[in-house]
Amino acid sequence: MTKDHDLYSEKMISIPAPRFVIFYNGEKKRPEQEVLRLSDAYFIREEHPALELEAVMLNINAGNNPELLKACKSLGEYAEYVAKVRRYAKDMALAEAVERAITECIQEGILADFLERNRAEVKKVSLYEYDAEKHMRQVREEAKEDGRMELLQEQIAKKLEKGLSVQEIAEALEEEPDTIRNLITHKKEG
């Protein structure tokens, strides 16, 4: 792209416009196509952010984007493999579900050459990927709990300002007095 250009020149070098595409195969229901913007993650919303990145997310789960999955055989077969793993993982251990899906895909000619050559690596990646999804669910649950604790601490602080005792605060917030004491102590230490 730039090998014949002087990288230190003051003249601007033209480059092709970048396009970012994400293939979504998560378990949450998503539209067939959506545009994701980096600025949606910013703490402070700006009408014209200094840095923006847009990526088109294409859902490749069963029943979504059939034309794309038909046009790109490998992507379509990958989506079939993932669907099999998920289906079998409902009734058996994940490692068994992955093994069964790999064996079945090879027999049906789905990613057969790739799976035969890379069986061990596919197993590792599949197990890691699904464990990562489980981890992210746990992180989201912890974040919800952290948000609840933060709200509880704010409520406790307001009630302390009003001169209420730990027992009165516990009764008002329907919490155990020890929980209230721990949150007060934690807030003072933090």
Q: How many CA atoms lie within 13 A of 94 on its CB side?
A: 13
| Structure tokens, 104 | 């079945």
Model pLDDT for residues 58-114, shown as the tens digit of each residue? 999 989 999 999 999 999 999 999 999 999 989 998 899 999 999 999 999 999 999
Say whether both 54 and 80 belong to one domain: no
In the 8-state DSSP scheme, what is residue 163? T
State the residue range of the domain holding 156: 139-190
pLDDT band at 8 (very low <50, low <70, confident <90, very high): confident
Would residue 162 count as lying in a domain? yes
Task: Let me know if residue 48 belongs to a domain.
Answer: yes
- Domain presence at residue 176: yes
How many independent structural domains does the chain possess?
Answer: 3
pLDDT over 70 (residue 7) = no
Inside any domain, residue 53: yes
Among 2, 1, 69, which residue's Cα sits nearest to residue 32? 69
Does 112 share its domain with 154?
A: no
pLDDT in tens, 157-184: 888 899 999 899 888 888 888 888 877 8
Same domain (yes/no): 148, 185: yes
Distance from C-alpha of 164 to C-alpha of 173, rounded to nearest angstrom? 12
Q: Beta 54-59 vs 21-24: how paired, if at all?
A: parallel
Beta strand spans in 1-157 (E): 21-24, 33-37, 54-59
